[in-house]
A and B are shown apart, each in its own frame.
Chain A
């Protein structure tokens, strides 16, 4: 049928101990498995085996995994991807711990994206029978789930076309230089679920990570997360504030290796008939940081 959601992010970290202190002690993800040089984590409201894999050595993104609904979706997306002209290969069950076989693609932006249809289900922290509202033993921020990822790409037009034509994503918001016929696309926020974005990209170097984000319940949880970042000396980039684009509430911050994370709440709902919103570059600062309306140099320059 279709791509259901962002299922996993694999990120590189320079020091695993420091990274786990951040993702487990501060953010409250649960460590579910370890392999030499790798750690698998999940957030409390996720039912699949893991959503984050940390790999020791370097910084930045290894790959993203999006989960599709059915096994036979893989073949359809494989055909379309090949027609589009991107490099594909089949991956077998077990190549990724607890993840089914699937398809690996190298995007025009050099990012590696995997599609899979099954993951070992280990359940949420509250279960599925008469569940409580939230688990009482949350650690730190207690992030409920991973939400989206923003990457930088040299050619936003082609990447947007890829996600649209191959994977059936739709643009919720687009950032263009101006509204003239010569206006160029410099960013796109695309969805496959009914959130404002499941993937986003802005113009920049290929293969780079801008951030990946956790979805929080509301604005007060964002503030509480910010308090914890101060207590734990987490390097904060911007926020708490609101985005014009997506209308979400946010804090950008960095993990101990310099990978940018976000806690994100709110935002509107999208549907297949959602009319795309356009932002022009002269309003970029307001689009990104709606309240302060000022871009810091880091927003566009700091990627891993």
Chain B
């Protein structure tokens, strides 16, 4: 499964097939700024530093204009990693851990490779 890393943080999570970036990070206990989670508001835009993403649902050009798309901005509630990727959050945003329980689970699983 492709992994999602966040620039500036020691974080790497796996994304399930078809799972968008935001959903993958939230599932593992992380949070950052997001809005509608349905591609309508653009609040969760991040920079794609490396790797490739695809959109399996229609995304409005009003929300993610082609110019932004070309500049490497992606709509993280809709963008699905198809390779290992690294993203960078907006300058005024930060990654926080909202569910430490899930993080401990991740560490446990590290010692028990799937």
> B59 interface residue, CB < 8 Å from A?
yes
B58 A301 Cβ-Cβ under 8 A = no
Q: Which of these, B38, B60, B61, B63, contacts A255 with CB under 8 Å?
A: B38
> A302 interface residue, CB < 8 Å from B?
yes
B39 A257 Cβ-Cβ under 8 A = yes
A15 B36 Cβ-Cβ under 8 A = no
Contact mask for chain B residues 7-40; partner A; CB cutoff 8 A; 1 contact, 0 none: 0000000000000000000000000010111111
A258 B35 Cβ-Cβ under 8 A = yes
- A303 and B41 contact, Cβ closer than 8 Å, known pairs A254-B36, A297-B33: yes
A14 B60 Cβ-Cβ under 8 A = yes
The number of chain B residues with a CB under 8 A from chain A is: 16
- A257 and B40 contact, Cβ closer than 8 Å, known pairs A60-B62, A298-B35: yes
B43 A304 Cβ-Cβ under 8 A = no
> A89 interface residue, CB < 8 Å from B?
no
- A121→B60 CA distance, assembly (Å): 34
B33 A237 Cβ-Cβ under 8 A = no
A302 B43 Cβ-Cβ under 8 A = yes
Q: Enumerate A249-304 residues with CB–CB distance to B below 8 Å.
A: 254-260, 297-298, 301-304
- A258 and B41 contact, Cβ closer than 8 Å, known pairs A59-B62, A235-B36, A298-B35: yes
- A72→B41 CA distance, assembly (Å): 40
- A260 and B60 contact, Cβ closer than 8 Å, known pairs A301-B43, A302-B41: no
- A118→B36 CA distance, assembly (Å): 35
> A58 interface residue, CB < 8 Å from B?
yes
> A227 interface residue, CB < 8 Å from B?
no
On B, residues with C-beta under 8 Å from A are: 33, 35-41, 43, 57-63
Closest 9 pairs between A and B when the two form their complex, measured CB to CB:
A258-B40, A258-B36, A302-B35, A258-B38, A254-B36, A302-B41, A235-B37, A14-B58, A59-B40
- A263→B44 CA distance, assembly (Å): 25
A14 B36 Cβ-Cβ under 8 A = no
- A92→B35 CA distance, assembly (Å): 39
- A303→B40 CA distance, assembly (Å): 8
- A59 and B63 contact, Cβ closer than 8 Å, known pairs A14-B58, A15-B57, A302-B43: yes
For residue A235, which residues in chain B have a CB less than 8 angstroms away from its CB? Answer: 36-38
> A18 interface residue, CB < 8 Å from B?
yes
A58 B35 Cβ-Cβ under 8 A = no
Can you spell out 5 A-B residue pairs with CB atoms less than 8 angstroms apart? A237-B36, A255-B40, A258-B38, A298-B43, A302-B35
- A58 and B62 contact, Cβ closer than 8 Å, known pairs A258-B35, A258-B36, A297-B33: yes
- A57→B43 CA distance, assembly (Å): 20
- A257 and B60 contact, Cβ closer than 8 Å, known pairs A298-B43, A301-B43, A302-B43: yes
Nearest chain B CB to A209 CB, angstrom units: 10
Contact mask for chain A residues 8-43; partner B; CB cutoff 8 A; 1 contact, 0 none: 000010110010000000000000000000000000
Residue with the greatest number of chain B CB neighbours at <10 A, chosen from A12, A259, A302: A302
- A12→B58 CA distance, assembly (Å): 13
B38 A15 Cβ-Cβ under 8 A = no
